[in-house]
Amino acid sequence: MPDGGGGPPNQIRRLVLHGTRGVVSRCRDFTARALADWGWIPPDSEEAGERVEDVLLLVSEVVTNACLHAGGPEELVLRHGEGRLRVEVYDASPEHPRVRVPRSPALPGGHGLMVLDLLAGDWGSRDKGPGAVGKVVWLEVERPPGRKRDEPD
């Protein structure tokens, strides 16, 4: 399968996690390194830069949700190919995310799924699989079409 972005097609990165202390920043740093390796960083346009920031915010949201509602994430998996990034966060809780009743953006908390709805191209959750307890919360983000690096601004 061809890859619409930088780097070889269908690359996968995994980060095994334990506990909740410092896990959000570890996941953001891990994701930023992968995006750099895959050519998303440095961004080649303003739109691409915004997309990188969106990805890092989305990773923070799904990992934070795993910390708050599922005892912490067990693994972060990044899948890159065909111009798309898929982020998967594995945890041990069988409870899937549920959208809350809409509330004021001025109130703290409860906005993580709204952020996913706004910034991710698609997202959802699934059970880990037969014989495994827990779930995977996933999201996908398309890489914006960018100019070639040698084109003028």
| The pLDDT value given to residue 113 | 76
Whether residue 147 contacts residue 108, with contact meaning beta carbons closer than 8 Å, is answered with no
pLDDT value, residue 11: 95
What is the reported pLDDT for 80? 96
Would you state the pLDDT for residue 111?
58
pTM: 0.83
- Counting Cα atoms < 13 Å in the Cβ hemisphere of 35 gives 27
CATH hierarchy code of domain 11-98+109-142 = 3.30.565.10
Q: In order along the chain (153 residues), what is the average pLDDT of each group of 10 residues?
A: 48 93 96 96 92 96 93 96 94 86 58 81 93 95 68 42
Half-sphere exposure of 149 (CA within 13 A, CB side): 7
- Token readout for 18 is 């334990």
| φ and ψ at residue 139, rounded to 5 degrees | -150, 155
Q: What is the per-residue pLDDT for 145?
A: 77
